[in-house]
Structure formats: structure tokens, C-alpha cells
Structure 1
Amino acid sequence: MRFLLLFIAFHFFQISTAQLLSDHDKNYTRADSLRGSLRPERTGYDVLKYDLYVKVIPEEKYISGVNKITFKTLEELPKMQLDLFKNMKVDSITYKGKKVKFYREFNAVFIEFEQPIQQKKESTLNFYYSGKPIVAKTPPWDGGFIFTKDKNNEDWVSVAVQGTGASLWYPNKDHLSDEPEEAEIHIAAPKNLVAVSNGRLLGKEKVDENYTQWNWKVTNPINNYNIILNIGDYVNFSDHYKDLDLNYYVLSYNLEKAKKSFKEVTPMMDCFYEKIGPYPFPEDSYKLVETPFLGMEHQSAVAYGNGFNFGYMGRDLSGTGVGLNWDYIIIHESGHEWFGNSITAKDIADMWIHESFTSYTEAIYIECRWGLEKALTYLNGLRQTMVSNDRPIIGDYGVNSEGSGDMYFKGANMINTLRFMINDDEKWWEILNHFTSAFKHTTTDTEAVVRFFEEETDLELASFFNQYLRHTKLPELQFKKENATIYYRWKTDVENFKMPVELLTNQKEIRITPSNSWQKLDKSISKENLQVNLKKFYITTNLNEVLNRRDHRN
């Protein structure tokens, strides 16, 4: 979501963050490698649980706490890497009741054990820390803590760190490939306020005369940047969808607005349950939590800050009007529960797996509510307003490198193109349901996703995905005319590109399967009003130019 917001900010406002989008010189540093790569100090163990205790002092913008990290060694482990931003203090690290030696390099913390921990051992270490975490200047466009006041001058605190890294505010193995199987988050907050985190509330307890600790538990795997805290003058109301608990936390003076606005959750769940499968974290419930920033896909505690408005901050990203019929943040960030939270990329370079599918859920929701034509109108509008085709969607592996912001809306149009390549809607929805169930609660990569869709469709799709994900140019469907014969082919960066596409002529739909070699267009196909169905297929073509040139000569 953070990259999307940067991308949208660039397109709508041309603000200074545009420089961040174009800063892709690939001069990676040792710090990038420490954050993004997998070495023995990381691969030698699997995180099983984070048990995080943190006290937040809003007036000082200060936090302190301990993360009790339970892990299992996968091989003999003499040294392990955890991560905590260098501006934060490591107070101590203990293992088996004794302090252990450690040293720091950039944001990495290397822990050295007196004796290597043997393979297949389950252990727990306690990582005590404190300090003033980085404060976001323009959240969520940049990562960090948010310390602000609500309209009643009550403290309102949150955090958003997608991309920037969860180690900005708590110690962890800050890599997408390793999710804890469960987590507990214990937040000590000023006693007049409510602290909300992921999962279900276990209860609260008095810390001292001024602080109350709120205890939350997540029973499903969760990626690091999704673990969050929210502190504010919250009130809670709840609802149910089938067997799923729906919980909402909003500022006290926004209760009535939220009750009206959040009714959209029910039709959204109706749609998503049918089209992409059941909610993946029912044990942890579904929550929307009002935040002092626009939004983020925090698992089972979705951050919401869209002002209870339709659209994206009252705007339609597609420029078609269709985007003003629904609340963008509710739909997009909730879609991430399936794509990004349940199905998670192993490396941030593959974030398209999160963002392309989630951006496509926007069109799925539109189709459920207002029909396919409206969904196609929305997707086609996004091509014009929100796609740059300037850099590959996939980033560089092993250095914490995101790809292009086109992973959102170019990616959504790519997924939509795949749907109409298959040309069987019943099968398409079955495939998406199978995708979310087969990959549920797992980390994955591009190769595995491509292999899944190839197996489900019996199509060769590596060239299709490679063209859209690893190159900037769209597939070009080229036509040429020689005498009375029209020829066609694909012009692509990848070799052996073969993709079916739909032509329209006099309201008739005709499918052809071009390759990179010239083929003759069947003479029985009428040339009258002949066009490529660009609504369904995100490609470029010179067909109109060729036909107009013919008509001019005639």
C-alpha cells in the first residue's frame, strides 16, 4: 500500500515524493543486502512466535519493550541476525536467562551464542529495546510512527511501516520469507485511551496509575509489517457475516458516520466469498480501525483513514466516475487479507503478487455490485490515469527492492487479460478460489504462482507473465496488409509469445491465437468495423492504422 500511495501522490499531486519513484539507480549497499538477502544467520532458524510487549509514551514520542522471540533451528546456529533500526537502543538480549553478546551493522543485530544452538531445537530469546522511533512526516507515504491529536485533543497514535520495515519499531527477522505462526501484542497505553492491535482481544490489565495494558493475540501466520498498534479515544461496535466476527474501532465522535459507512463490508464479503473464497483469518476476526493516515492492509486490523467517503479521498482514480460508487480504502485494503496477508511474497521484489491481485479485487467488487461493463470501464480508465509503463513490475531480488508502482493497476489489467485468455468465467472463478485456498497462509514467489496458473489452465504462461512483469512494453498485436491479405503477429520482448486475443466485427466475437510469426487472417472474417477487443485485453495494436490506410487507398 505504501508504494501505491506514493504512486498515486505522484499522479495526482506531483509532490516531492515523485523523486522517490524515479530513484532506481541500483547502487545497492551493504545495508540493502543485510535487509534483503537470506544468509545462514537468517536461514538457520524459523520464527515460531513473537510475544511483543511495548509501552508507548505519546507526549515523549518514546517506546520501550521486549520481544520474546520463539524460534526453531533448522541447522546448527552459532550466530543469528535480527533487525532493529539503528536509532533504537538495544537494552539487552537474553537467552536461557543470560545476556548474550551482540553487535550491530546498520539496522542488523547479530547475536553470538556461547555454544551453537543445535539443529531442530526450539528456543526463546528476549530482546529488550527502547527509544524514539522514526516519526513519519507524511504518513503513509513514508514509514514511521504517527503521534498526533484527534479533534478532542486526545492522543492518537499509530504506525505504518510497509516497505520501510517493521524493525523501525520492534526487533524481528525483517524479511517477508519468515512469518511467525502466531503473535501476541501487549500494548501499554495511557489509561484513558484504547489500544488496538491484530487478532482478538485477550483482555486488559492495569499497569500503574497512568497506564493500561491491552493484550491481543493472532493465531495465524502474519508478516512483520502487518503487526501494528493503534492508540486512541476509540469506541467499538461489532457485527457478523456468516460465522465471521466483524469488529470496528473508531474515534468516539465518528461512531454514527462509521456505522453507516462500514455497512459496505457486508456486500464486499458477499462478493469476495463467492469470487475469491472465504476470509482467510476467521479465528482472528475481521476489523477496521480508524487511523490518522489513509490506510494499510494490517492483517485482521485493517487501517482505515478515508474519512468515511466514497472513492479515494473523494477522487476516482480511474477518471470514469465508477470509482465514486464505493469506498476505495475499505475494498482495496480488505482485499489484501487474501492477497498479501494470506498469500505473501517471499521477497519484496515479488510484491506484484500482493498488489496486482488486490487491485483486481476492486474490479471484482464493481462487477459484483454493478456488472462487468462497469468493471471493465474502471480497469480501462486506470490504464489511462494510473499506469506509467516506465519500469519493470518485478524488482531486484535480495536487496529489499520493490518494482514499479505499475504492480497495482497495470498488474490488475494483466490479471483481467488472463481471465479473458481463459475465456471461461466459471473456470476463472474456480481457479481464483483454488489459488487462495492452495496458497493460504504461505509465502511464495513468481515462479510458483506462474506454475500454478499454468497447471490450472493448461496454458504456457511464463512468456505472458514475463512480458508484463519483467518488461515495460505491452504486447503489441501487429497487423500488415499485402494485396488483399491481412497478416498478424505479436511483437514482444520475450520469445515464443503466444496469446489468444479477441476480435470484434459487426458485433461478433472472433478469437485468434497470434504468435511472434506472421499468420494470415482468415478471409472469411469481415473487415467491416473490425477491431481488437481492448476492453478485455491490455495490449496495443496498429489495426486501425492498417485498416484506415487500406480504406484511403481504396
Structure 2
Amino acid sequence: MILALMSQSVLAQNLPTRADTLRGSITPEREWWDLNYYHLSVEVFPESQSIKGKNLVRYRVEEPAEVLQIDLQEPLEITAVKQDGEELTFKREGAAHFISLKKQQEKGAINELEIFYEGKPKVAVRPPWDGGITWQKDANGNHFIANANQGIGSSIWWPTKDHPADEVDSMMISVTVPKDLMDVSNGRLIKEDDNGRTKTYHWFVANPINDYGVNISIGDYVHFGEEFEGEKGTLTMDYYVLRDNLEKAKAQFRDATRMMEAFEHWFGPYPFYEDGFKLIEVPYLGMEHQSAVTYGNGYQNGYLGRDLSGTGWGLKFDFIIIHEAGHEWFANNITYRDVADMWIHESFTNYSESLFLDYFYGKEAGQEYVRGTRMNIANQSPIIGIYGVNRRGSGDMYYKGGNLLNTLREVIADDEKWRNILRGLNEEFYHQTVYTRQVEEYIAQQAGMDLKAFFDQYLRESNLPVLEYYFTENNTLHFRWNGTVPAFDMPIDVLLGEEKVRLQPATEWQEMNVKKATDLEVDPDFYVSTLKMR
């Protein structure tokens, strides 16, 4: 009885709340307007760990309405909202602010709001996982400040339409900091204003950008850069690091152009040539901020010096440069419409690590790496989360997600077709927000295969498919899939003796005559379980 009550208590704690729905769903107050442009202006006060600013929101009216939702989390406060110079009233419910509009919202019209706000934003304790603003100092006593907010939401530090389905088409980010510091944000630096005791840096993002990818990085930065001749022409690659780390960065950041070369091969052109590519040193591990990837891996290979695969291959590259930059294709170019589909970001990007190795060291190097990461998989809950309530799936979206994609590559059994599918995804869904089903259907169509049961098994179930088999005396192999969704029929490659054979198991027993009743060995690149019955 005590255990049952405890379980019910835990379940109750995990049930979606009203706040989850307001954050995670396309509410009526969000649905009727489409983002067009932001101009975020914010002044940062390091000594008091506070900020003050405003966000100009330009939007297109899709349907007439009277109330508009903007999100800003406590302890920050919206001090005023104006439209056409007239102050508006609003009601607050947690992070959601429901603004009552006076102006008639005519379908097709382009309107603007000015949202003024201030306060002390949440301090990040363990970024990038918990989210907020990090306030630190470098070795020379200079302020070193950055945000990271994928999980907790961009509204932790600025007023925004905090839902991934609607990306703003372009954006200006103007950040005012003490004159001895520099801010580096997304896009290109348009101008720098000297205000006497402060400086304002104006950055313009020409491409659509997801809200969690908007960032400020503030420090005593020095800059160096280079150009990469890529598939769409000359790409500027700029690097901002703390003054004392310049020489280390010049050596370690060589992985950046290697990354770009490998990922343009696998995924197609870098999606943001107009905004350039940046690596920016920050006081936490790193994050995939669009066109402004943040870095804090200590100028060493691996993940803080460790190989997450246990194979040795993970020490051939700087994990943060490769992984976080991989998100430029999967997260920033192709973005989930609901956080339940976060695997679209993390599974493909986890898999990109092995593809980087594949490109430079050969296919088997990549295969060994991705197989090695299986030790990090729990297989206890599904990769897909709960829709409409800001609820992501399990952490298996990383390593299991990478392995499911590698398994799918082996199922398709045509590496050039597989590469074209990965490139095609980034072309088909260029600068778009998507649901999982769109990704599934595109891959299935291009592969010429029915993959519904495959995706259901690996994304929506927690357990692995089990290949059960046995031999009978007449040299007959009996085999089937067990522990799977109905109609699961994934083909699988096995070794029977020294002969490689592709089996076509179903959930009912199948038979096949073999030359000799010998043991069966599954191709290790397929992520499955096996069970010999007799």
C-alpha cells in the first residue's frame, strides 16, 4: 500500500499542469498571429546581475483577435506594453501574459508591440541543463556572462512567443554592456555604439531563428577568423575567445572547418551562410545557438577529455565543436514544432558524431563509435515525449537515437541513398519547424520502404526488438521478431557460418533452409537483442 501511494504521488507530480499547457501548446492567444520580426534591446548590469530592456514584436495577423500571449518567467517583470504608442493592459498567469489589444487586428495586417521588462533573471546553477544566466568572472577578474535555456525556455530572460512552432523570420539583437566587455550574439555584427561608460553591440539575424537559439555571450573577448569555401560559396567562420586562450583556441578550433567539410558532405550546405558561423567561448559546456555556437570544453578532445563511446574514437575530435555545430542542421535548420519531438534535434546530432568519424577515418571508425555509445542507453522509456505540454521524451533520444539511425542506414543498405536522404531532409524542411511524422514519412518515401513499424518500435516503445531463433535437425532456421509492435518486419543481416544473409523476420515464425545448422551472428550495426531458443 505504501509503495502504491508513493507511485501515485510520483505520478501526480508528473501530470501536466496548467503552466505546462500554457507553455507547451499552441494556445488560442498564440495561434492567430505569425511572428515576423523581433528587435530585442537589453542592457546587462553585471554587478547587480540584472537586466533591463524591451522587445519590439512585429507580427502578421492570421485571424482577427483581441488577446495576444507573450511569455516572460519570474522573477523578471513586464513593466509596460505599448502598441502604436498607446499603453495596453495585460493579465499574468505564471509565465504567460495575456495582452488586451485596443487596435483592431485585421487579417493580413502587419502590427507591432513594444514590451518593456526588467529584473534579475534566474541564475543558471548547472548550465546548459537547468538553464538561465551564468554570471562568472574570468581568470583576470573580468565579467564572463552567458545564457543557456533550451529546456527552461527563452522566456527565462526575455519576453517572447515561447513556443517552437513559430520562428521569427529575422531579428535584431542589441546588447548594452560595460565598455570593457563585448557581447557576441547571433548573426552578423552590424554596428557598435560607444555610449561612454557602456557599449552597445547590434547583431542582425537574416534567417529564421528558434527562440531558444537566441543568445548573449559577454566577456573580454578577442577575435580571429577564417573563410571556408563551401557548397554555397565563401562562408565566414569567426571565433571569439577569452584573451588568455587565444593561442589554445587557434589550435583547437581547427576542428571547426573539418566539421563544416564533413557535415556539408553528409547534410548539405550549411543553412545560414548569410549569418556566418561563430564559435564563442562561454562559462559552461556549450550550446547550439544558431550561427553562434557556444563553447566551453576546455580546449581538449572528447567530452571534457572523455570518450563517450569507450572505443578511443571519441578522442579524435572536440565533442562540443562537432556535436553542437551539428545542431545547425538538426535543431536550427530543421526544428521540432513540439518539444515532444526533441529527438529530431538530438538523435540526428548524436549520429552526426559518428558520421564525422566516417568521413575522415572510414565507415568502420564511425560504426565502432556509435556501437560504443550503446553503454549509455537505458531502454526504460520512449524517445517521443507528450505533445502539447512541453514534455520531452527520454534521454535515450541521444545514444539510442543515434543507433536507431545507424540501424536504419543498414536496413536501407545503400550508403549513397542514405546520404541523399540526410541531405534531402535539410532541403525539404529547410528553415522549417516539423513534427516527427513528417520526418518519418519523408525518409520512408525516399527509401521506398514502409517504415511505420520501425519508427513506432524505436521511438514510441522502450524495449528493443528481440530476434528469436533456433535450428532444427533438417538444417532449417526458424526465426521471428518478439517484444515488438504489431507488424514489425525489419530486415536484418546475419552471419550463418561465414555466409552473410539478409533475413526478413516477422512477428510470426519464419523458416529458411540453410547449408548447415550452425550458430547465427547478427550484424552488430543493427541495434537489436537476440535470443537463441534451443
Report the TM-score when normalising by structure 1: 0.92
Match status 1:103 vs 2:91: yes
CA distance in 2, matches of 1:228, 1:416: 32
The match for 1:206 among 186, 191, 194 is 194
Give deviations 1:79-134, integer Å, cap 9, x for gaps.
01010003111110000110011010010000011244121111010000000000
Amino acid at match of 2:149: V
Amino acid at match of 2:463: K
Q: 1:86 — aligned with what?
A: 74
The match for 2:182 among 185, 189, 194 is 194
CA distance in 1, matches of 2:52, 2:65: 28
What is the Cα deviation at residue 505 of structure 1? 3.0
- SS of the aligned residue for 2:239 comes to strand
The match for 2:315 among 312, 319, 324 is 324
The match for 1:520 among 499, 508, 511 is 511
- SS of the aligned residue for 1:216 comes to strand
Q: 2:5 — aligned with what?
A: none
Q: 2:260 — aligned with what?
A: 269
What is the Cα deviation at residue 23 of structure 1? 8.7
- SS of the aligned residue for 2:384 comes to coil
Match status 1:149 vs 2:137: yes
CA distance in 1, matches of 2:212, 2:12: 23
Match status 1:540 vs 2:529: yes
Alignment check: 8 A CA contact 1:467 1:492 kept = no
Amino acid at match of 1:218: V
CA distance in 2, matches of 1:288, 1:371: 27
Give deviations 1:162-182, integer Å, cap 9, x for gaps.
110000000000000000000
Give deviations 1:204-246, integer Å, cap 9, x for gaps.
0023x21100000000000001001011000010101101100
Alignment check: 8 A CA contact 2:464 2:484 kept = no
Q: Summarize the alignment of residues 89-168 of structure 1 with structure 2, pairs less than 5 Å apart.
A: 89-168=77-156
Alignment check: 8 A CA contact 1:47 1:70 kept = yes
CA distance in 1, matches of 2:171, 2:11: 35
- SS of the aligned residue for 1:320 comes to coil
Give deviations 1:320-346, integer Å, cap 9, x for gaps.
221111100000000000000100000
Give deviations 1:421-446, integer Å, cap 9, x for gaps.
00011111111111111111000001
Which moved further from structure 2: 487-496 or 160-169?
487-496
Q: Summarize the alignment of residues 58-73 of structure 1 with structure 2, pairs less than 5 Å apart.
A: 58-73=46-61
Q: 1:491 — aligned with what?
A: 482
CA distance in 1, matches of 2:520, 2:15: 48
CA distance in 1, matches of 2:498, 2:355: 25
Q: Summarize the alignment of residues 317-466 of structure 1 with structure 2, pairs less than 5 Å apart.
A: 317-384=308-375, 386-466=376-456
The match for 1:39 among 1, 20, 27 is 27
Amino acid at match of 2:185: S
Q: 1:237 — aligned with what?
A: 224
CA distance in 2, matches of 1:185, 1:327: 29
What is the Cα deviation at residue 529 of structure 1? 5.1
What is the Cα deviation at residue 514 of structure 1? 0.9
Alignment check: 8 A CA contact 1:160 1:296 kept = yes
Alignment check: 8 A CA contact 1:464 1:497 kept = yes
Q: 2:467 — aligned with what?
A: 477
Amino acid at match of 2:468: Q
Alignment check: 8 A CA contact 1:348 1:401 kept = yes
What is the Cα deviation at residue 507 of structure 1? 3.8
CA distance in 2, matches of 1:139, 1:353: 22
Aligned residues, how many? 520
What is the Cα deviation at residue 66 of structure 1? 0.5
CA distance in 2, matches of 1:434, 1:277: 8
- SS of the aligned residue for 1:357 comes to helix
Give deviations 1:129-185, integer Å, cap 9, x for gaps.
000000011222210101110000000110000110000000000000000000110
Which moved further from structure 2: 369-378 or 255-264?
369-378
Amino acid at match of 1:79: V
Q: 1:530 — aligned with what?
A: 520
Q: 2:210 — aligned with what?
A: 223
Match status 1:299 vs 2:290: yes
Alignment check: 8 A CA contact 2:472 2:517 kept = no
Q: 1:19 — aligned with what?
A: none
CA distance in 1, matches of 2:519, 2:305: 38
What is the Cα deviation at residue 530 of structure 1? 3.0
In the superposition, relative to structure 1, how do residues 259 and 24 fare at CA in structure 2: closer, same or farther (>3 Å)?
farther
Amino acid at match of 1:221: P
What is the Cα deviation at residue 299 of structure 1? 0.4
CA distance in 2, matches of 1:94, 1:451: 44
In the superposition, relative to structure 1, how do residues 23 and 508 fare at CA in structure 2: closer, same or farther (>3 Å)?
farther
Q: Percent identity?
A: 44
What is the Cα deviation at residue 483 of structure 1? 4.4
Question: Structure 1 unaligned runs (5+)?
Answer: 1-21, 550-554
- SS of the aligned residue for 2:102 comes to strand
CA distance in 1, matches of 2:28, 2:513: 59
Amino acid at match of 2:75: N
CA distance in 2, matches of 1:198, 1:368: 28
Question: Structure 2 unaligned runs (5+)?
Answer: 1-9
Amino acid at match of 1:470: R
CA distance in 2, matches of 1:141, 1:285: 26
CA distance in 2, matches of 1:27, 1:42: 23
Match status 1:501 vs 2:492: yes
Alignment check: 8 A CA contact 1:136 1:142 kept = yes
Task: Indicate the RMSD between aligned Cα atoms, in angstroms.
Answer: 1.3
Match status 1:510 vs 2:501: yes
Alignment check: 8 A CA contact 1:322 1:378 kept = yes
CA distance in 1, matches of 2:281, 2:258: 20
Alignment check: 8 A CA contact 1:340 1:353 kept = yes
What is the Cα deviation at residue 49 of structure 1? 0.9
CA distance in 2, matches of 1:380, 1:111: 51
- SS of the aligned residue for 2:408 comes to helix
Give deviations 1:468-501, integer Å, cap 9, x for gaps.
1111001111113444332111114311111110
Alignment check: 8 A CA contact 2:129 2:151 kept = no
Alignment check: 8 A CA contact 2:278 2:291 kept = yes
Alignment check: 8 A CA contact 1:79 1:111 kept = yes
